[in-house]
Amino acid sequence: MTFQERITISTTGHGDMADITTQVAQVVRESNIQTGIAHVFNVGSTGVIGMIEYEPGLQRDLPEILDKLMPPSRQYGHEQAWHDGNGHSHLQASILGPDFTVPIGEGALILGTWQQIIHLECDVRPRERTIVVTVMGE
Ligand code: ZN
């Protein structure tokens, strides 16, 4: 069967990382699916769903390395068209991707102890984010 639910979160702006593992695990519990997959998807082109060890060092390191690889700049093609200052946000979000899939076993997410599901805000201002969790299996 398939079960789907939406999670909403508020972000504080560029580089804000949120641990959403608890909310995703709750959706999996509600689904009653014992074996399958949970697909987690950020609606929008400047937010990321991914995986990390959620601790303060990496919370800082990941946005910092993304800003080194794809720094804020007014030179991006996106800027020429839109002038909204978030060309780097789109590029960072595209590289890391908007979704992540986790296996489910015995009715729970299969994750390492130091492996959390995160949302990373790449946009330059605070956003209300909708995250769709689709649980498939039996
Ligand atoms: Zn833009």
3-state secondary structure of 124: coil
List of domains in the chain: 2-137 (2.60.120.460)
Q: Which of 99, 100, 95, 92 is nearest to 121 (CA)?
A: 92
Which residue has tokens 């639910």? 5
How far is the centre of ligand 1, averaged over its atoms, from the C-alpha of 56 (Å)? 28
Which residue has tokens 């991707």? 97
Cβ-contact 38, 65 below 8 angstroms: no
How far is the centre of ligand 1, averaged over its atoms, from the C-alpha of 129 (Å)? 16
Write out pLDDT tens, residues 87-110: 999 999 999 999 999 999 999 999
How far is the centre of ligand 1, averaged over its atoms, from the C-alpha of 9 (Å)? 20
CA distance 110 to 137: 14
Compute the average pLDDT of residues 66-78: 95
CA distance 137 to 105: 10
How far is the centre of ligand 1, averaged over its atoms, from the C-alpha of 70 (Å)? 14
How far is the centre of ligand 1, averaged over its atoms, from the C-alpha of 121 (Å)? 14
Which residue has tokens 């519990």? 29
Count how many Cα atoms sit within 13 Å of the Cα of residue 13 in the half-sphere of its side chain: 4
pTM passes above 0.85: yes
Cβ-contact 104, 24 below 8 angstroms: no
How far is the centre of ligand 1, averaged over its atoms, from the C-alpha of 136 (Å)? 33
CA distance 60 to 66: 10
Q: In what order do the strands lie in the sheet with 128-137?
A: 2-10, 128-137, 36-42, 99-105, 108-109
Write out pLDDT tens, residues 3-55: 999 999 999 999 999 999 999 999 999 999 999 999 999 999 999 999 999 99
CA distance 97 to 46: 9
How far is the centre of ligand 1, averaged over its atoms, from the C-alpha of 78 (Å)? 7
How far is the centre of ligand 1, averaged over its atoms, from the C-alpha of 44 (Å)? 11
